[in-house]
Chain A
Amino acid sequence: MTDTANLFLEVDNLKTYFFLHEGTVKAVDGVSFNLYKGRSLGVIGESGCGKSVTAHSILRLVPSPPGREVDGKILLHLHEGSNGSSTEEIVDTLKLERNGPKMRSIRGKEIGMIFQEPMTSFSPVHTIGSQIMENLLLHTPGISKKEARDRTIEMLQRVGIARAHQQVDAYPHQFSGGMRQRAMIAMALICGPSMLIGDEPTTALDVTIQAQILDLINDLQAELNMALMYISHDLAVVGEMSDEIIVMYLGLVMEHASTDEIFDNPLHPYTLALWRSIPTIEGKLERLTPISGTLPSPFAHIPGCPFFSRCERRIPGTCDAALPPLKEVAPGHWVRCVLY
């Protein structure tokens, strides 16, 4: 997919490591992908494979120390000015000071983020409204408090909070999990960002609420023509939310293809194992086959394919000798496996 007009984010060979006493965790070890406005990318993989760290690296939210983005590029295509005569500015966020003014002007304004735990995403001692408004006040020069408040109420209404003009003054503990996640979406989107990152935003919610929140995110993405990066370990959800999917394992991209392609024609043994470990979308309760074996220690230094120890089709002497490259086996379908 090359669509230069809508290209918003290029992640190129991103490596984010954590330097701990026990050793180095290569949480993200050379991840690349592009993101376009109006399109969405799903990121999937087992716990600890580096999904959150990838997302946090884009916004430079990785705690440092111990973490550091040791290599790669994260290019943002920012557009200034009115639609017709917009000028493009390309910024490499990895070159910016972590919490410096330029990076802060991108956070919240160009890229909004929703987190996994709605219960803890808000400070318990400040009102919901003041925390959403803060985003607006930070990024809109000259806006009055009154105006910010009105826009906050509007946004709360948009995300489906009833009686928003009252709820704007409510405290987080007065909101249910679903309402908090709606408020979180309002907070992430109030400045009309070009990109939204959802880091498992529905995992903590029950299924009905989950479906509502997913619909809401989909609607808002279309409405605001945003680029969406959607992280989950729930295949069904990722399938519903994204145009394109990357499958991650221990900091590496194992497979990368359009959603249709990867569901119809999964290639990597890890992807296949993931697919087998979920109930089918039709809802038939098949016997689930959990992926055999355990995730290697994050400190382990594996010379070959990291999935080798758990792979059903491993070829000793080949797979564990060298890391296979990510190969384009069909147009737009990339796999990291010696079998293809």
Chain B
Amino acid sequence: MLVYIIRRILMLIPILILMSMVAFFLIELPPGDWVSTRITQLEMSGVQVSADEAARLIAQYGLDKPMPVRYWRWVEGIVMRGNWGFSMQWNKPVNEILAERVPMTIVISLSALLLSWIVAIPIGIYSATHQYSFLDYVFTILGFIGVATPGFLLALILAWVLFAKFGFSMLGLYSREYLEAPWSFAKFLDLLKHIWLPLILVGMGNTAGTIRVVRNNLLDELNKQYVIAARSKGLSEWKLLLKYPVRLAINPLLSTVSFILPGLVSGSVLIDIVLSLQTTGPVLLRATLAQDMYLAGSIVLILSALTVVGALLGDLLLIVVDPRIRFGRAEK
């Protein structure tokens, strides 16, 4: 068992190396680079850039070196010094830009995931145990609407309605006065006041999907013989439901954690932009457009690393809850 876990963790290393390469090369792929993009911009606004000046800029950012060298310097900086490089667009170290955004992205994604489970699992259980009832139909219809409505559209509408009708600005995660303030209890409360809307919006599509998964899995489980066998022992319906079929119906959710995370991250970019949240999504979008490669590469790498680690955690959790997998893997 332990061997299996250690092997899984060791396997992460080559995966991460590969990912860093892909992230870096993908971002370098489009023609041109940050300096040429910048020079074009300057020239379009009437500023002449001399050849010397251009060469100086190129050398300053290390763009004169071949790509493998640049890649190596970037990776070396990350591994040896925890330095993710320099953002040309922001004129700031990447670390500084991401220090608050990465944790905030994780917090929002995970809370949205948890929230969607807290909402979806009971509804899924109700729908399965009351199949074809009035409320089951209501939830089904709401679910389809939830899946089909783009989150950003709803975000726009809600933000506008809240502002126009109640004068409450949903934009950002903090009120203006707390934006630059150090962390305090008051700032935390302020965050709670703002975070629910993004959580609901980001989690909405996933909630609707999870309801369907729980409902369908549970319907499958409810007809299995072990449920009837457990009932024939004299268990009460609630105990029976929660102890046996529900547990089996929600186990598979754990394995979906891994692909829900990137989905939440990428899917919420538009919502984050609309609500101007301090997450990585909007920064990534702008960095890619401006060919700010260290920033973009870093974000892509961090998000994919988180996804891989998330997948591993999901698998390990599944091993904890499902003895069939536990023994199956340990024996190999």
Spell out A's residues near B (CB within 8 Å): 56, 59, 61, 99, 104-109, 112-113, 115-117, 120-126, 131, 134-135, 138-139, 171, 173-174, 184, 187-188
Contact = CB atoms under 8 A, between A and B. Distances in A.
A272 B236 CA distance: 44
Contact of B234 (A105, A123, A174): A105
Contacts of B324: 124-125, 171, 173
Contacts, number: 77
Contacts of B243: 126
Interface residues of B, number: 23
Contacts of B176: none
B233 A61 contact: no
B53 to A, nearest CB: 68
A38 B265 CA distance: 67
Interface of B: 224-226, 228-237, 243-244, 247-248, 251, 321-324, 327
Contacts of A187: 229, 233
A134 B236 CA distance: 12
A138 B248 contact: no
Contact of A61 (B231, B235, B248, B251): B231
Contacts of B323: 124-125, 171, 173
B83 to A, nearest CB: 46
Contacts of A121: 225-226, 229
Nearest to A60: B231
A123 B226 contact: yes
Nearest to B236: A104
Q: Which of B229, B233, B236, B321 has the most CB of A within 10 A?
A: B233
Contacts of A126: 243-244
B234 A122 contact: no
Contact of A174 (B226, B232, B327): B327
Contacts of A120: 224-226
B234 A107 contact: yes
A184 B226 CA distance: 10
Contact of A123 (B237, B244, B321, B327): B244
A124 B322 CA distance: 8
Contacts of A123: 226, 230, 244, 247-248
Contact of B231 (A106, A107, A139, A174): A107
B226 A173 contact: no
B233 to A, nearest CB: 4
A169 to B, nearest CB: 10
A126 B251 CA distance: 13
B249 to A, nearest CB: 11
Contacts of A171: 323-324, 327
A135 B235 CA distance: 8
